[in-house]
Structure 1
Amino acid sequence: MAAAASHSAQSPSKSWLPAKSWHHFVAGGVGGMCGAIVTSPFDVVKTRLQSDMFRAKHVGVTIQANGAAAVTVRRNLLWHFVETVHIIRDIYRDESPRALFKGLGPTLVGVVPARSINFFTYGNGKQVIANTFNHGQENSWVHLAAAAVAGVATGTATNPIWVVKTRLQLDAHRPEFVGSGKSFFGGSVGTIKQILRDEGVRGFYKGLSASYLGVTEGTIQWVLYERLKKLTGGTKGKGGVQEWVGMIGSAGTAKCVASLITYPHEVLRTRLRQPLVDGKVKYTGLWQTLRLVIAEEGAGSLYGGLSAHLMRVIPNAAVMFFIYEAVLRMS
C-alpha cells in the first residue's frame, strides 16, 4: 500500500499539474509575443490580401486604351512570395515604416492571453482527458480532443481583440506602432469606440464562427507536432543541437501543413471582421461570406495572402515552440 502511494505521488499525472500549469501559461504567452513582433509585417500583408478592400490595389490593376480596368492575376506560387515582398516595400514607401506594424498592439494584447490560454488548456487538458478516458495514456485522439477544447476556449476569449487588430490593419491612414505610445493606444481606443457606436457589442464577435471553424487548424497543428516531436526524439531525448533542431522543425512543419489545409477560414474571418462600407454590412455570416466570395472572386480568392501567411506563421511557430520547450526544460 505504501509503495503504491509512493508510486502515485511520483507519477507524472499527479506531480505535473500544479508545477507545469503555470509554466505552460507563461511559456505560451512569451513565445507568442516574440513570434508576433518578429513577423508583424507579414501579418499586415496577409490581412490586406485577405480583404477585398485592398485586393485591387495590391493585385495589380492596369488601365486599357478604352479606359477599362484590367486586373492581372499571377497564379504562380513563387510570384506570390515575391508579391509579398513588393507589398511590404509599397507599404513602407507609401504609408511609413510604422505602418508595417499596424495592429501589433492589439496583437500583443491578444497574443499573450491567447497563447497562454491555449497552452494552459491544451497542456492540462490532455492530462485530464487521458486520465479520465484513456487510463492515463496519451495518444493522438487525446491530443486532438485537448487541442479542440483549447481552440474553442482561446477563440471565444480573444475574438474582440482580433476584431480591433483587423480593423487597424485595414486602415491605410493611421500608422499605429507598438512603440508610438499615445498614437497607438489612441488608435486602438478610437477603433473600439467606433465599433461600439456603429455595431454595438456584437461587433466585437464578428468572425467568431470562422474562428471556431479554425479550431481545426490548431487541432491539426498540435496533433502533428506531438507526433513529429516524438519521431525526432521528443523533449526527453539525448539533448544537443540535433534534438532542438528536430523540435523546431516539427513546430514549423506542423504549422505549415495545418495552415495549408485550413487556410480559407482565415480569409472568411477577415471578411467578416471588415468595417462597415457606406454604413452597410457586406458579409453577414460564415456561409453567406463563403458563397459571396466564390461568386464574386472565384475559389482562388480563398487563398489570398497565403504566401504572407506562411512567411509569418512558420517562423512564428518555430520561435513560439522553441521558447515553450525551453521554459518547460528550465522548470
Structure 2
Amino acid sequence: MEPRESWAALAAGGIAGVFVDLILFPLDTVKTRLQSAQGFRKAGGFRGIYAGVPSTAIGSFPNAAAFFITYENVKSVLHSDSTSYLTPVTHMVAASFGEVVACLIRVPSEVVKQRAQVSPSAGTFRILSHTLYHEGIQGLYRGYKSTVLREIPFSLVQFPLWEFLKDLWSWKQGHVVDSWQSAVCGAFAGGFAAAVTTPLDVAKTRIMLAKAGSTTASGNVLAALAGIWRTQGLSGLFAGVVPRMTAISLGGFIFLGTYEKTRQLLL
C-alpha cells in the first residue's frame, strides 16, 4: 500500500468517525442507559442526552483513523483476487486486526463516555479524574477484552457483508459503486451486525459500568452474559437492540459513505 493511500485511509477514517459519533451520540446515550443495570430512568432517562460527548469528540478521530489505516494495510498485505473464495477471509482478518488496534484508543474514551452517560450530573473531566484516582490507568481499560470480543464478531459480519454487497451492486450495474451506494450497503451490513452482536454489547456496557471490585468489573464476558440471562432473560441480553440497530444502520450509512467519499477526494 502506497504512503498516499495510507494517509488517505487515515484521514478519511478519522473524519468519518467524528461525523458519525457526534451526529448519533443521543441514540448511543439512550442505548447505554437502556443497557445499564440501574435501568433507563435511574441512569438519566432523556436528561443530559449529550453527557460524555467531550470524550467522544476527542477519541473519535484517532480511533476511526487507527481502524481504517490498519484495515486497509492488512487487506493490502493479504490481497487476493476479488473472485477468490478467500476474499471474505481477507476482509475478516483485516477487520479483526483493525479492531484490536482501534480498541487501544476506543476503550478509554468509551469508559469515560458511558460513565458520563449514566451520571449526567457529573462532568467528563470529573469522571476521568475519579477513574484515574481510584482505579489507575487499568480503570480506563476496564472492558478492553469485552470490547474486542464485541467488535471482532461485529466486524466479522459487517465488513465482509459490506464488501460483498458493494461487489454485487458493482457487478449488477457494470461499474464500481458510488459513495452513496457504498453507504447504503454499509447501513444494511451495520444494522444486521448490530442485531446479532447486541448481547456482547450489553455485557461490555455492564462491565464498564460495574462498581470497582465487583464480580462483573473483573471483565469476565461469559459470567456477565450468564448473570444477565439469569436476572433478565432474553430481553436483558437484547436490551437496547432497537436504538443500537438504528444508530449503527445510520452510522454505517454516514461512516462508510463518508469514508469512501473522503478517500476518493484525497486520492
State the TM-score, normalized to the length of structure 2: 0.89
Contact in 2 for aligned 1:151/1:219 (Cα 8 Å): no
Unaligned runs of 5+ in 1: 1-15, 59-86, 175-186
Contact in 2 for aligned 1:232/1:243 (Cα 8 Å): no
From 103, 125, 138, the counterpart of 1:155: 103
Q: Within 5 Å, which residues of 2 pair with 1:244-323?
A: 244-276=179-211, 281-283=214-216, 284=218, 285-323=220-258
Q: Within 5 Å, which residues of 2 pair with 1:85-234?
A: 91=46, 95=47, 99-130=48-79, 134=80, 139-174=87-122, 187-214=123-150, 215-233=152-170
- Once the two structures are TM-superposed, the CA of residue 282 in structure 1 deviates from its matched residue by 4.8
Secondary structure of the equivalent of 1:233? helix
State how many pairs are aligned. Answer: 260
- Once the two structures are TM-superposed, the CA of residue 198 in structure 1 deviates from its matched residue by 2.1
Aligned-partner Cα distance in 2 for 1:280–1:151: 27
Q: What's the counterpart of residue 26 of structure 2? A: 41
Rg larger in structure: 1
- Once the two structures are TM-superposed, the CA of residue 280 in structure 1 deviates from its matched residue by 5.2
Post-superposition Cα deviations, 1:64-99, rounded to whole Å, max 9, x if no partner, equal: xxxxxxxxxxxxxxxxxxxxxxx9xx62xxx3xxx1
Post-superposition Cα deviations, 1:164-210, rounded to whole Å, max 9, x if no partner, equal: 11111110324xxxxxxxxxxxx222111211222222211111121
Post-superposition Cα deviations, 1:275-307, rounded to whole Å, max 9, x if no partner, equal: 52xx75251322221121111111320111111
**Structure 1 counterpart of 2:7, one-letter code:** W
From 5, 8, 11, the counterpart of 1:26: 11
Identical-pair percentage: 25
Contact in 2 for aligned 1:49/1:304 (Cα 8 Å): yes
Aligned-partner Cα distance in 2 for 1:316–1:296: 31
Aligned-partner Cα distance in 2 for 1:56–1:246: 39
Aligned-partner Cα distance in 2 for 1:171–1:157: 22
* Aligned residues: CA RMSD: 2.4
- Once the two structures are TM-superposed, the CA of residue 17 in structure 1 deviates from its matched residue by 2.2
- Once the two structures are TM-superposed, the CA of residue 246 in structure 1 deviates from its matched residue by 2.4
- Once the two structures are TM-superposed, the CA of residue 244 in structure 1 deviates from its matched residue by 4.0
Q: What's the counterpart of residue 71 of structure 1? A: none
- Once the two structures are TM-superposed, the CA of residue 156 in structure 1 deviates from its matched residue by 2.7
Residues 237 and 105 (structure 1), Cα distance of their counterparts in 2 relative to 1, 3 Å cut: farther
Runs of 4+ in structure 1 off by over 4 angstroms are: 55-58, 134-138, 236-239
**Structure 2 counterpart of 1:39, one-letter code:** L
Post-superposition Cα deviations, 1:38-68, rounded to whole Å, max 9, x if no partner, equal: 111101000001111124658xxxxxxxxxx
Aligned-partner Cα distance in 2 for 1:230–1:213: 28
**Structure 2 counterpart of 1:19, one-letter code:** R
**Structure 2 counterpart of 1:139, one-letter code:** T
Q: What's the counterpart of residue 53 of structure 1? A: 38
Contact in 1 for aligned 2:35/2:205 (Cα 8 Å): yes
Aligned-partner Cα distance in 1 for 2:179–2:125: 41
**Structure 1 counterpart of 2:136, one-letter code:** G
Aligned-partner Cα distance in 2 for 1:48–1:282: 21
Aligned-partner Cα distance in 2 for 1:225–1:195: 37
Q: What's the counterpart of residue 12 of structure 1? A: none
Contact in 2 for aligned 1:207/1:268 (Cα 8 Å): no
Residues 17 and 297 (structure 1), Cα distance of their counterparts in 2 relative to 1, 3 Å cut: same
Aligned-partner Cα distance in 2 for 1:135–1:296: 49
Contact in 2 for aligned 1:167/1:275 (Cα 8 Å): no
